[in-house]
Amino acid sequence: MTSTERHATGRPATLHDVARLAGVSIATASKALNGRKHVSATTRAEVLEAAALLAYSPNTLARGLVAGRTGMVGLLTSDLEGRLSIPILMGAEDAFGADRTSVLLCDARGDAIREGHHLRTLLSRRVDGLIVVGARPDPRPSIGRDLPVPVVYAYAPSADPDDLSLVSDNVTAGRMAIEHLTGLGRRTIAHITGDPTYGAAQDRAKGALAELAARGLPLAGDRVHFGAWTEAWGRSATRTLLAQHVAIDAVFAGSDQIARGVIDALHEEGLEVPRDVAVIGFDNWEIFATSSRPPLSSIDMNLETLGRVAAERLAAAFDGALGSGVEQIPCRLVPRESTVAA
Amino acid sequence: MTSTERHATGRPATLHDVARLAGVSIATASKALNGRKHVSATTRAEVLEAAALLAYSPNTLARGLVAGRTGMVGLLTSDLEGRLSIPILMGAEDAFGADRTSVLLCDARGDAIREGHHLRTLLSRRVDGLIVVGARPDPRPSIGRDLPVPVVYAYAPSADPDDLSLVSDNVTAGRMAIEHLTGLGRRTIAHITGDPTYGAAQDRAKGALAELAARGLPLAGDRVHFGAWTEAWGRSATRTLLAQHVAIDAVFAGSDQIARGVIDALHEEGLEVPRDVAVIGFDNWEIFATSSRPPLSSIDMNLETLGRVAAERLAAAFDGALGSGVEQIPCRLVPRESTVAA
DNA sequence: TTGTATGCGTTATCAC
DNA sequence: GTGATAACGCATACAA
């Protein structure tokens, strides 16, 4: 076998080939293969046999040309690591049914020019819809008002309220964290989180504060400790708190990385987790949460669900109605050892 | 604006519309838009203006139907996190040119059934080629010998030597790590790595041992410490070494996670990195390498390059020739503070 | 029940 | 230089 013969060179069989082999017209062959009425059982069997013999696989492009639908959706992301877009993609695949709809993934790498470029090629490929995934959970510019296809924004909402956006319910997630910690009997809880310019950081803090207030509890350290989404910040903020002799029996961290820094610093000060201080993170980034000592309780943003709902909204839009505004997707708490009862 | 009007309902403009508006035939319009010869400058300008006016965007499907090429490649992955497939995807996008070729990403989630399913839909969409990305760097079953399109395996090679596979050059990478550490003056180097059933683990160890032998140096601890790809293993292996009073001034870790465990254990024993012990990891997983204390030197597998080469091989195959066998892609060493000179 | 003919949007081959 | 016209592969309304 020479290198040129690696893949079969002959064009794939067409409906025409099948029809000819079965001795019928392409119209009949088409009906038979698509399970339409008005075909005798015997001819149907013959057509099916011919198709099997030729390893016939219908050309989805040609089908899309006549149907006016390609069965493809574009996933336009700016998420360099795929940490967001892959779960969202999988959720969307599940909802669509992988055989009916395929996903074209394009990474704009945070570049508006490249995004516009990808948008144009996706539209020229006549995708049936678009899912736009932002890199950070804050409003981003709308990709355009009068696009020929429905668009759903996931994770990062569109700045245009007429667009439909799907975001994580960070406020409720903040409440959940506090609810969980107080359920363990903890009463002096600190909140160490990331960059205050992130709406998500503000929302999580807002939810946490509201839940603390509802329970008549103060926030340990008297204020939310905003900083950066890094282990280093988690460590330094924790050390600051301990140096000030703030009594804490739990920390709600704004991300799993911050949580790891918090745990590190606690250990260095001779405090044990969760016995002395319970710690909960955010994101449920498996690789961090499970390799932490002890394994880290965390809040999962249900990104697969986000992708699934995005797909459902798009599917509904194909039949006419696309909503607008921002839809909140609930998070879920994943308990691990860092917050077991003392 | 009601919800149904969110996206423009009218079908996108066709070549026919442009031709009619410009007052020419569709043949002329086609030539003008595609920059072909035999079109007067004035009519070309008129056509271009009409196209701009109608926001005309050529239907890539129809174009592909006649051209016999879709300009799409399938990326079939089993990599649940996207840590492999996203860099590979980006490399492929770069090599193809994002406007000429789009990538259909399908995640088989390690399920052979689902993989076959995705394969069929990709073929029915008439992708021009296929890139298959495995979850672990060991031979995997070929996806099929007589596919109608060229296939390139990336990261995980195909078990069939007639297929073309692209893998990281782990042997040389192992040599590089030792070369780097000895260049720092380190002479008692241990190798703590992951699951011994991984060919990559064996290859890296092989390279490291060869390089040590070439320099007349022994392996600290007398043997390669195989275990698991986890921080926990990095910690426990390190503790074992220290408990045996093995003198070490450097550790080559088989992954960044293992390296973090190693560093943790060293710190707990009062040893400083890199002053007392230099540590280098593998994978260059940014989030781990940069958040480590100190930042972790590591070996990058150049996954973007792998994707780029995969795209180049596919492109060559479109014009006839696809090679076979396993092609080694070189890794590169990324130095950070964990291995600065003492 | 089956076959004929038309159109989906483009490109390319030819006449003019 | 320009414009009919035939593919490309498929689905379907309509005629037989």
> Quick one: pLDDT band at residue B99, thresholds 50, 70, 90?
confident
- B36 CB neighbours strand C below 7 A: yes
B39 touches strand D (CB under 7 A): yes
- Given an 8 Å threshold on Cβ–Cβ distance, is B85 in contact with A80? no
Q: Residue B4: what pLDDT?
A: 45
B60-67 vs A60-67: helix crossing angle, rounded to 10: 140
Nucleotides of D under 7 A from a protein CB: 1-5, 7-13
Quote the minimal CA–CA distance from A229 to chain B in Å. 11
Three-state secondary-structure class, residue A279 = strand
**A86, B107: Cβ pair inside 8 Å?**
yes
User: What pLDDT shows up at residue A331?
Assistant: 98
Do B12 and A148 meet the contact criterion of CB atoms below 8 Å apart? Answer: yes
Give the single-character DSSP code of A331.
Answer: P
**Contacts A3 to B, Cβ<8 Å:** 321-324
Q: What is the pLDDT of residue A101?
A: 92
> What is the Cα–Cα distance from B305 to B64, expressed in whole angstroms?
28
Q: Is B330 on the interface with A (CB under 8 A)?
A: no
Element (H, E) at A63: helix A60-67
**Cβ(B129)–Cβ(B318) under 8 Å?**
yes
**pLDDT tier at B2, thresholds 50, 70, 90:** very low
A27 touches strand C (CB under 7 A): yes
Q: Let me know: does A236 contact A225? Beta carbons within 8 Å.
A: no
Q: Which pLDDT does position A98 carry in this prediction?
A: 73
- From the list B85, B123, B126, the residue facing A82 with the nearest CB is B85
Which of B72, B105, B119 should we substitute to test contact with A (largest number of A Cβ atoms within 10 Å)? B105
Q: What are the distances in angstroms from CA B262 to CA A330, B31, B176, B180, B299?
A: 38, 65, 20, 18, 16
Mean of the pLDDT values across residues B124-146? 95
Contact call for A59 and B105, based on CB within 8 A: no
Q: Write down the pLDDT at residue A11.
A: 84
Are B98 and A105 an interchain contact pair (Cβ–Cβ within 8 Å)?
no
Q: How far is CA A34 from the centre of its chain?
A: 34
Q: Is the CB of A42 under 7 A from strand C?
A: yes
- If contacts are CB pairs under 8 Å, which of residues 122-151 in chain B contact chain A? 122-126, 146-151
CA distance from start to end of chain B: 68
Nucleic acid strand D within 7 Å of B43 CB = yes
Residue B20 CB in 7 A reach of strand C: no
Check CB contact of B281 with chain A, cutoff 8 Å.
no
Q: Which member of B12, B149, B323 has the closest CB to residue A7? A: B149
Q: Is the CB of A50 under 7 A from strand D?
A: no
Angle between helical axes of B41-53 and B15-22 (0-180°, round to 10): 120
Q: What pLDDT sits at residue A10?
A: 73
Asked whether the bond before A294 is cis by omega within 30 degrees of 0, the reply is yes
pLDDT digits (tens, 9 = 90+) for B152-178: 999 999 999 999 999 999 999 999 999
Query: Parallel, antiparallel, or unpaired: how do β-strands B151-154 and B164-168 relate?
Result: parallel
DSSP B204-219: HHHHHHHHHHHTTPPB
Q: How does strand B250-253 pair with strand B278-280?
A: parallel
Residues 6+ apart with CB under 8 A from B319: none
A37 in contact with B, Cβ within 8 Å: no
How far is Cα B17 from Cα B58, in angstroms, rounded to an integer?
Answer: 11
**In angstroms, how far is D16 C1' from A28 CA?**
14
Protein-proximal nucleotides of chain C (any atom < 7 Å from a CB): 1-5, 7-13
| DSSP codes, B238-294 | HHHHHHTT---SEEEESSHHHHHHHHHHHHHTT--TTTT-EEE-SS--HHHHHHSSS
What is d(CA B261, CA B255) in angstroms, rounded to the nearest whole number?
10
Minimum distance, in Å, between the CA of residue A103 and any CA atom of chain B: 6
B104 touches chain A (CB under 8 A): yes
Summarize pLDDT for B217-263 with one digit per residue, the tens: 999 999 999 999 999 999 999 999 999 999 999 999 999 999 999 99
CA B299 – CA B283 distance, rounded (Å): 6
Nearest to A121 among B80, B102, B104 (CB): B102
Which of B89, B119, B125 would you mutate first to test chain A, the one with the most A CBs within 10 A? B125
Chain B window 56-115: residues with CB closer than 7 Å to nucleic chain C are: 56-59, 62-63, 65-67
Does A274 sit behind a cis peptide bond, omega within 30 degrees of 0 on the bond before it? yes
- Domains, chain A, in order of start with CATH, read 3-58 (1.10.260.40), 70-168+302-331 (3.40.50.2300), 170-300 (3.40.50.2300)
pTM of structure = 0.94
- Let me know: does B293 contact B338? Beta carbons within 8 Å: no
Q: Which two tokens stand for residue B295?
A: 């930042």
Strand D reaches within 7 A of the B338 CB: no
The minimum CA-CA distance between B17 and chain A, rounded to whole Å, is: 16
Inter-chain contact A64–B61, Cβ cutoff 8 Å?
A: yes
Structure tokens at B150: 């060229």
Hey, what are B287's tokens? 């989030």
Residues 209 to 228 of A: which have CB under 8 A from any B CB? Answer: none
Note the CA–C1' distance, A128 to D15, in angstroms. 35
B341 — pLDDT class (breaks 50, 70, 90): confident
Structure tokens at A171: 């406020």
CB contact under 8 A, B125 and A81: no
Nucleotide nearest to B12 (CA to C1'): C9
pLDDT tens digits for chain A (342 residues)?
334 455 666 789 999 999 999 999 999 999 999 999 899 999 999 999 999 999 999 999 999 999 999 999 999 999 878 889 999 999 999 999 877 899 999 999 989 999 999 999 999 999 999 999 999 999 999 999 889 999 999 999 999 999 999 999 999 999 999 999 999 999 999 999 999 999 999 999 999 999 999 999 999 999 999 999 999 999 999 999 999 999 999 999 999 999 999 999 999 999 999 999 999 999 999 999 998 999 999 999 999 999 999 999 999 998 777 889 999 999 999 999 999 976
Q: Do B104 and A104 touch (CB under 8 A)?
A: yes
Q: How far is the CA of B110 from the C1' of D16 (A)?
A: 53
Å between CA of B28 and C1' of C16: 14
Q: Are B208 and B193 in contact (CB under 8 A)?
A: no
Decide if B59 and A117 are in contact by the 8 Å CB cutoff. Answer: no
